[in-house]
């Protein structure tokens, strides 16, 4: 994609913000387990939480090419910081925007855009990861209320959130067609959050279980229609996968920067590592795959902004980009030798942060299935 002046200005502004405000805090974000409140406030002021959300609800409605740029540039500085941006723009924000009532949008979406509230998307369960249609969280109807019991696992930012969009089975016999989404506030009796998980990477955004024990919610807290939540989640995932793909691009670029900088200054056998042809071949392979990922991502983003269905394109972009960023991070660490294994060098954190990208928002294996189904359907 050849960027227009509009997108060049957006990239320049986000890159400067990432360099000045995010990068200096990358290590402290990792150590403290969340981004500082002041940085969170600045991200809200810059409307990073509402790049895909219309202005009437507090966003800026800039679209998915702009969103990809934001994610790419922020991920170069801190992967953890981007997790605060993905949810309001995709998994959390889009279901409320597309399926919520006006009252729900004003109560939940607008405060998130302003940085006054945080929310999360609670679909995954201990026994329902890739098999999201098998929900063991049950919502039993009781007059105008629902009594909800269950446990959600690996929920991003659960310890920090004021509310969650929770998926539960309202009719187990119907499988995926019996799943309903509820907006549940954190202070609702019976709602609790488990201890933050001890993770390999992206430690600047806490992950934990949400436990629901006889949680009573009014029918007005249903998001969308009863029994239609699984389709809602699957449609939202296209956007989420595109955004994560852009995150992967930023991770890979950060790894490339560290690798190139290191091989230029590190000398062995009387010459800089960058002068050895074997090293140059590694860098050539890394850069080529990075360029391929960028083409896939921005092609999908342009199609999304044009109103096209991008199920295949988003899955392909996320699949390729996540595998690519893991490979580039691994090779960049290898080029550092023993130094890359030390926490004193940024590549150690980049390598750990990259690993989860082939798992969340659809594992690589699930995405291969999605892509294959689209290919077989369209030919």
DSSP 186-251: TTSTTEEE-PPP--SS-TTS-EEEEEEEEEEEEGGGEESSTT-HHHHHHHHHHHHHHHHHHHHHHH
pLDDT of 379 > 70? The answer is no
361 is catalytic: yes
pLDDT of 1 > 80? The answer is no
- Cβ density class 150-184: b for 16+ within 10 Å, e for less: bbbbbbbbbbbbebbbbbbbbeeeeebebbbbbbb
pLDDT at 131: 85
Tokens of 278: 């074997």
Q: CA separation (Å) from 48 to 59, 284, 321, 343?
A: 8, 33, 22, 29
pLDDT at 129: 82
Q: What is the mean pLDDT of residues 301-326?
A: 97
Instruction: Please report, in angstroms and rounded to a whole number, the separation of the first and last CA atoms in the chain.
Output: 27
pLDDT at 282: 98
Residues 6+ apart with CB under 8 A from 268: none
Distance, in Å, from the CA atom of 43 to the CA atom of 23, rounded to the nearest integer, reads 14
pLDDT at 184: 98
pLDDT at 352: 98
Distance, in Å, from the CA atom of 332 to the CA atom of 265, rounded to the nearest integer, reads 14
Q: CA separation (Å) from 123 to 22, 153, 187?
A: 29, 8, 19
Q: Where do the structural domains in the chain lie, given as residue ranges?
A: 5-114, 119-227, 230-377
Tokens of 195: 């201890």
What is the CATH number assigned to the segment(s) 119-227?
2.40.110.10
Q: Specify the 3-state DSSP secondary structure of 34.
A: coil
Number of residues written out for the chain: 379
User: Choosing from 30, 73, 118, 361, which is the catalytic residue?
Assistant: 361
* pLDDT tens by residue, 64-110: 999 999 999 999 999 999 999 999 999 999 999 999 999 999 999 99
Tokens of 237: 């995932």
Count other Cβ atoms within 10 Å, centred on residue 13: 14
How high does pLDDT run on average in the chain? 96
Q: Tell me, which fold does domain 5-114 have in CATH?
A: Butyryl-Coa Dehydrogenase, subunit A; domain 1 (1.10.540)
Count other Cβ atoms within 10 Å, centred on residue 26: 21
Q: What is the mean pLDDT of residues 142-151?
A: 97
- DSSP type of residue 196: P
pLDDT confidence of 130, banded at 50, 70, 90? confident
Are residues 207 and 182 in contact, defined by beta-carbon separation less than 8 angstroms? no
pLDDT at 128: 81
Are residues 186 and 217 in contact, defined by beta-carbon separation less than 8 angstroms? no
Class of domain 230-377: mainly alpha
Residues 6+ apart with CB under 8 A from 138: 148, 149, 150, 168, 169, 172
pLDDT of 378 > 90? The answer is no
* pLDDT tens by residue, 17-58: 999 999 999 999 999 999 999 999 999 999 999 999 999 999
pLDDT confidence of 132, banded at 50, 70, 90? confident
Q: Do domains 5-114 and 119-227 have the same CATH topology?
A: no
pLDDT of 241 > 80? The answer is yes
Name the pTM for this structure.
0.95
């Amino acid at each position: 994609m050849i960027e227009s002046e509009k997108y060049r200005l957006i990239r320049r502004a986000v890159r400067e913000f990432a360099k000045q405000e995010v990068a200096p805090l990358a290590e402290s974000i990792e150590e403290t387990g969340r981004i500082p409140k002041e940085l969170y406030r600045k991200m809200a002021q810059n409307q990073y939480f509402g790049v895909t959300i219309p202005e009437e609800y507090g966003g800026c409605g800039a679209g998915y090419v702009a969103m990809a740029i934001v994610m790419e540039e922020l991920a170069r500085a801190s992967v953890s910081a981007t997790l605060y941006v993905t949810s309001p723009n995709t998994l959390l924000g889009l279901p409320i925007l597309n399926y919520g009532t006006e009252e729900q949008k004003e109560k939940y979406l607008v405060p998130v855009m302003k940085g006054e509230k945080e929310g999360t998307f609670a679909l995954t369960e201990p026994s329902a990861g890739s098999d999201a249609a098998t929900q063991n969280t049950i919502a039993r109807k009781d007059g105008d209320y629902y009594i909800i019991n269950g446990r959600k696992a690996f929920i991003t930012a659960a310890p920090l959130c004021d509310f969650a969009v929770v998926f539960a089975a309202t009719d187990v016999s119907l499988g995926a067609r019996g799943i309903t989404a509820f907006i549940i506030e954190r202070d609702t009796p019976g709602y609790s959050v488990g201890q933050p998980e001890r993770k390999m990477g992206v430690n600047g955004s806490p992950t934990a279980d949400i436990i629901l024990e006889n949680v009573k919610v009014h029918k007005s807290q249903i998001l969308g229609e009863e029994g239609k939540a699984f389709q809602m989640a699957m449609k939202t995932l296209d956007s989420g996968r595109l955004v994560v793909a852009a995150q992967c691009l930023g991770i890979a670029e950060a790894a490339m920067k560290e690798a190139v900088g290191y091989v230029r200054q590190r000398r062995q056998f009387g010459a800089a590592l960058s002068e050895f042809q074997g090293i140059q071949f590694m860098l050539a392979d890394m850069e080529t795959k990075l360029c391929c990922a960028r083409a896939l991502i921005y092609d999908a983003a342009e199609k999304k902004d044009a109103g096209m269905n991008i199920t295949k394109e988003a899955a392909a972009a996320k699949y390729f980009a996540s595998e690519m960023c893991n490979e580039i991070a691994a090779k960049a660490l290898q080029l550092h030798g023993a130094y890359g294994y030390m926490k004193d060098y940024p590549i150690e954190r980049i390598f750990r942060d990259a690993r989860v990208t082939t798992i969340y928002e659809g594992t690589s294996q699930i995405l291969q299935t999605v892509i294959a189904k689209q290919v077989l359907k369209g030919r």
